[in-house]
Amino acid sequence: MRYVLAVLALLLALGGARAQDVPVGAIRWDDWLPDSPDVALLRLPQWQSRVPFHAARDAGGTLRINGALENVLAAENAYARAGGLDYFVFGLYPETGSWGRAPARHLGLNRALATFLRLPDRGGMRFAVSLNQSFPQDDFADVEETLAQLVANPDYIRAPDGTAPVFLFGHEPESWSRSLGTAERFRDAFAALREAVHRRSGVRLLAIFLHANPQRGAELARALGMDMLSAYVVPAGSGGRALPYADCVGRMRAHWQALAATGLPFLPNLTTGWDYRPRMQARGQRTDAPASPNWCEPPRPGELGATLRGAMQAATSDFRSVLVYGWNEFTEGGWLSPTWAEGTARLAEFRQVLGAREAPREVVLTWPEYGVTAPACALRSTGRNREATLRACGRTGAEPWPCPPGMTVRDDALRAPSGMEALWHDGAWAVRRCVAREG
């Protein structure tokens, strides 16, 4: 009996260590800007269940979203840490305007990363970047300088050997081999970029290639000189029909096994959902045709946590990590971020498996209260009770932002905007203080 108890204690200890030793990262899609077509899609009634926590309706009833604001990134940072995540993967887009691309568009896509890096306190949350577009030879020097600055940041995620993971992804992965004419030319140019980044920053890169097909991905990764393999997302096949999330999990497990069979080190991808019908319908495409992609039904309670445990067990490479699709891919169907419909339920499941990462005792959330303005409502530079202030001026206020998992509301207040807040909304701002639950 004493031996059995000792073995059980050892297994429990190993399970706890495993959760701590396998960092979990979440892929971000940061086109949540006021003029984004993705924002327009979420205004349609059939997709209201995907609206993120930081959305709000203005005085005219129009849904407004700006996911690159500092108050949004600060809240996302707190939510992610409370859910047990270790790092975000931000898309990184060249800002040079090469190949006819619009620099303003790419500056917008990179804005959330820039905001994240300006947060005064990231609470231990780290980050990595994914090169989401191939680029010409003329851009290599610019990308090199950008990467050297980013990987030198102490909050950039590191593998155990000190290397900095950098992901390479594209809607057409073969574009990387075509960007310089041949795979060999790209491999040589990227090897030179890696050395230049090391000279500038003192940090070596760990190049991780993202491809949905493990076999083809492995061929390309080897040809391009990559170090590891993973996927941006694990699709659900074709047939134009809904699949239970359990079936999508089965596809993930088969994908992990196929990655292992390639012989390359890999990161298992955990796909929280796959359903980009909003984008297909916007393009006028049929979603129910035999050649159309299948989509995953939302996970049932408990399914995300069980899938996360499986992904962590599948992470056996030297850089043991799980890559989650995604943090905020609302119009493609994969998210962990809180939403109006689900609150923090998905993050709560992750928290049950991972535990909170250095959870703070208090988190302050702030958001704009559209339609609540002076002099109709009594605003002050210092906070006043939110409920009483709204009641006094006959307003209902915005959808409140939920406290992170494991926390509860201490108090809610309203105040006038401070600093740059007034440029986004020159009216009332809510302030919610969340504290850790006792016990």
CA angle 328, 329, 330 (to 5 degrees): 90
Q: Using the predicted structure, report yes or no on whether residue 3 has a pLDDT greater than 70.
A: no
Q: Using the predicted structure, report yes or no on whether residue 334 has a pLDDT greater than 70.
A: yes
Over range 332-337, report the average pLDDT.
98
Over range 16-33, report the average pLDDT.
83
Spans of all domains in the chain: 2-354, 362-436
Q: What residue type is assigned to position 206 of the chain?
A: L
Q: Using the predicted structure, report yes or no on whether residue 43 has a pLDDT greater than 90.
A: yes
pLDDT classification of 52: cutoffs 50, 70, 90 = very high
Rounded CA gap, 197 and 179, in Å? 20
What are the DSSP calls for 344-366, one per residue? THHHHHHHHHH--SS--SEEEEE
* pLDDT tens-place string over residues 224-277: 999 999 999 999 999 999 999 999 999 999 999 999 999 999 999 999 999 999
Which residues pair with residue 363 across a beta bridge?
A: 434
Percent of the chain whose predicted confidence (pLDDT) is above 90: 90
Q: Measured in whole angstroms, how far is the alpha carbon of residue 401 from the centre of its chain? A: 18
Exposure class string for 21-39: b at 16+ Cβ within 10 A, else e? ebbbbbbbbbbbbeebebb
Percent of the chain whose predicted confidence (pLDDT) is above 70: 95
Q: Using the predicted structure, report yes or no on whether residue 5 has a pLDDT greater than 60.
A: no
pLDDT of residue 278: 96
| Global confidence as pTM | 0.94
* DSSP annotation of 407: E
HEC sequence for 268-335: CEEECCCCCHHHHHHCCCCCCCCCCECEECCCCCCHHHHHHHHHHHHCCCCCCCEEEECCEECCCCEE
CA distances from 64 to 24, 116, 203, 225, 335 (A): 30, 21, 40, 43, 19
Question: How far apart are the two ends of the chain, measured CA to CA in Å?
Answer: 31
Rounded CA gap, 130 and 156, in Å? 12
With tokens 């840490």, the residue in question is 81
Over range 383-393, report the average pLDDT.
96
CATH fold, domain 2-354, is: TIM Barrel (3.20.20)
pLDDT classification of 9: cutoffs 50, 70, 90 = very low
pLDDT of residue 32: 97
Q: Which residues contact 232 (CB under 8 A, 6 or more apart)?
A: 27, 169, 210, 212, 269, 325
Query: What is the average pLDDT score of the chain?
Result: 93
Rounded CA gap, 317 and 260, in Å? 9
* pLDDT tens-place string over residues 189-216: 999 999 999 999 999 999 999 999 999 9
pLDDT classification of 19: cutoffs 50, 70, 90 = low
Rounded CA gap, 187 and 193, in Å? 10
Contact between 42 and 51 under an 8 Å Cβ cutoff? The reply is yes
Q: Using the predicted structure, report yes or no on whether residue 160 has a pLDDT greater than 70.
A: yes
Listed residue (429, 432, 427, 300) closest to 375, CA to CA: 427
Q: Which helix (H) or strand (E) holds 228?
A: strand 228-230
